[in-house]
Amino acid sequence: MNYSREFFKGIWKENPVLVLMLGMCPSLATTGNGSNALGMGLATTFVLACSNLVISSIRKIVPGKIRIPCYIVVIAAFVTVVDLLMQAYTGSLYKALGIFIPLIVVNCIVLGRAEAFASKHGLVESFLDGAGMGCGFTLALVLIGLIREFLSAGTLFNIHIAENYPVTFAVMGQAPGGFIVMGFILAGMNFLNMRKAKKEGGNFVNPVDMDCRHCMICRLPEDEK
């Protein structure tokens, strides 16, 4: 098993936000500026890596029918850890992120990786997958956050880049700006991937294992009908 592949696929090829389109809610709501985005990304990365590790280690003893509640209990435990740690040591960030820290429990990425990857793979791969997905999530969030922060306030991580820079377009820091910046980044990603696929002589297709055609969540097992 190629371990580095498991880690690096989360950063570009199967980036949770920009390719798999998971976790849209926190990635639009907490990216008003770069530091919030970074805090949210790191918190989620911690939860992802740890929960993937634990879920992978208990995957053989959890009964299939109640696996989702079991995963949520594990995830919620790690979210509580992050929540208390952030409340203790990074007070202002905790206040800025607000409800979105507890909401990591129901983050699609965390649950999605637990269901799609950690419950089927070994310890090391699951940990690397979680860490890689977390890094991809963090990078995507920081990218969106920095673009929005620069357009809305002219700063990067609260540092002024240029003297007397006049352009402060506040709407980019608000909800519409999140959608607009996100859309442009997605368009750019698709453009790059398509160009790459064209160069290699193939067609651009979405990653197979996470789009709607292959997801099993809404499909009931045949024997239960």
Partner 1 sequence: MNGKKVDLMSDNMDKKELTEKSETQRIILPDPTRLILSPSPHIQTGPGTGKIMLLVIACLAPAIVASLMFFGLHALRVLVITTASCAAFEYLWNRISGRKSTLNDFSAILTGILLAMNTSSLTPAWVCVAGAFIAIIIAKQIYGGLGQNPFNPAAVARIAMLTGAAGAMTRFPAPNSIFFAPIPDALTTATPLGAAESFSAMGKGVEYFNSSAFLWRAFIGETSGSLGETSALAILIGGIGLIALRIIRWHIPVSIICTVAVFVSLVNHFSPGTTPGVLFHLFSGGLLLGAFFMATDMVTSPVTVKGGIVFGIGIGILVCVIRIYGSYPEGMSFAIVLMNALVPLIDKVCYIRPFGHQNIKSGRIEPRRGEIK
Site residues for partner 1 per CB under 8 A? 166-172, 174, 176, 180, 183
Based on CB atoms, which residue is closest to partner 1, 73 or 187? 187
Measured CA distances, 39 to 17, 86, 101, 104, 106 (Å): 16, 9, 10, 12, 18
CB of 33 to partner 1, least distance (A): 16
Q: Is the dihedral of CA 112, 108, 53, 211 positive or negative?
A: positive
Based on CB atoms, which residue is closest to partner 1, 119 or 152? 152
CB of 191 to partner 1, least distance (A): 10
Strand blocks (E) in the chain: 155-156, 159-160
CB of 188 to partner 1, least distance (A): 12
CB of 169 to partner 1, least distance (A): 4
How many Cα atoms occupy the beta-carbon half-sphere of 101 within 13 Å? 26
How many Cα atoms occupy the beta-carbon half-sphere of 34 within 13 Å? 14
Based on CB atoms, which residue is closest to partner 1, 166 or 221? 166
CB of 61 to partner 1, least distance (A): 39
CB of 106 to partner 1, least distance (A): 26
Based on CB atoms, which residue is closest to partner 1, 128 or 181? 181
Based on CB atoms, which residue is closest to partner 1, 96 or 180? 180
What's the length of the chain? 225
Reading phi first (left if > 0) and then psi (alpha if -120 to 50, else beta), residue 21 is in left
Buried b (16+ CB within 10 A) or exposed e, 6-42: bbbbbbeebbbbbbbbbbeebbbbbbbbbbbbbbbbb
Based on CB atoms, which residue is closest to partner 1, 73 or 171? 171
Measured CA distances, 176 to 30, 35, 173 (Å): 13, 19, 8
Measured CA distances, 10 to 7, 45, 61 (Å): 6, 11, 27
